[in-house]
Amino acid sequence: MAKNEPLQEVACALYFLVAMAAFSGHSLAGEAFGFASGVSDGDTFYMVIDGKSTRLRLAEVDAPEKKQPFGRRAEQSLRALLGERPITVTWDKVDRYGRPIVQVYAEGVNVNAEQVGRGFAWVYRQYARTSRLYILENEARLERRGLWSDPSPIEPWVWRKAGRKKEG
């Protein structure tokens, strides 16, 4: 029985990975080409992948929530960036809601970085891996673009946390 234990551990690990991918509807890593089919907010949109409408989340950035100042403008900015252009999305993670966390390119433009540069998203410090995003955020802040025209903008993760405290 002891000889089979490592094999059983590997089988369990593989089963877990397959189950995770099946549960989310996507492999843990992927790439897709197509068009955005809708925009939810400043960092979330829809695209048809493998014949199924899929909700996608921009990687490394966090845009204001819809009810937060600049939330609607962030949504409009993302809608304008995606437009009716062909887009490429790549991902290597799926979040707890089953959304692929994507890097998006529309006609060669990095949409994630552009949202930050326009002042309609913060660098999501907890998850950011791209140092250029910090430069873009600082430039937007210095030039008072988008949400940086507000003298005291509130980060979405702080705003969401304050909302949960009010509810509970």
Per-residue pLDDT, averaged over 93-101, amounts to 93
Q: Residue 13 pLDDT > 60, yes or no? A: no
Indicate if 141 belongs to the active site. no
Q: What is the pLDDT of residues 34-77, one digit of tens each?
A: 999 999 999 999 999 999 999 999 999 999 999 999 999 999 99
Q: What is the pLDDT of residues 137-157, one digit of tens each?
A: 999 999 999 999 999 999 999
Amino acid at 131: S
Indicate if 99 belongs to the active site. yes
Indicate if 65 belongs to the active site. yes
| Listed residue (102, 74, 97, 86) closest to 36, CA to CA | 86
Q: Which of 65, 75, 114, 137 is catalytic?
A: 65
Q: Which of 75, 99, 114, 137 is catalytic?
A: 99
The predicted pLDDT at position 153 comes to 96
The predicted pLDDT at position 163 comes to 79
**Residues facing 55 on adjacent strands:** 46
Q: Residue 22 pLDDT > 70, yes or no? A: no
Tell how far CA 28 is from the center of its chain: 15
Q: Which tokens is 79 given? A: 């809608």
pTM of the model: 0.81
Please report which confidence band the pLDDT of residue 16 belongs to, taking 50, 70 and 90 as the band edges.
Answer: very low
| Listed residue (84, 79, 85, 94) closest to 26, CA to CA | 94
